[in-house]
Amino acid sequence: MAQIVAYDLYECEPFRGQLNSANSQYFRGMISGITRALTGIEDYVFFEEKCIAKGDPYCSFKLERVKQSPSRKT
């Protein structure tokens, strides 16, 4: 699977080493959306494994398959 590593990510840098959880919601959503738009595959999303806001040396995002909910019938 794909992995993206980002150093000094703008949305995490102000919190470097101060948080207990990952903080890159905007960037994670953006790369997930771009991947979906380019591939047309809806059931993959990036999850943040490492984050500088948690004290890691970089932010790391891993592409994983997610289970889609059944479509609603109207």
For residue 10, give its domain range. 3-65
Res. 67 pLDDT band, cuts 50 70 90: confident
| Within a domain: 7 | yes
| Within a domain: 40 | yes
At 39 the three-state DSSP class reads helix
| Within a domain: 70 | no
| Within a domain: 71 | no
- pLDDT, one tens digit per residue, over 5-29 is 999 999 999 999 999 999 999 999 9
| Within a domain: 56 | yes
pTM: 0.81
Strands 44-50 and 3-6: unpaired
Please report which helix (H) or strand (E) contains residue 35, including its range. Answer: helix 25-39
Strands 3-6 and 59-65: antiparallel
Distance CA 41, CA 31 (A): 13
* Average pLDDT across the chain, whole number: 89
| Within a domain: 73 | no
Domain count of the fold of the chain: 1
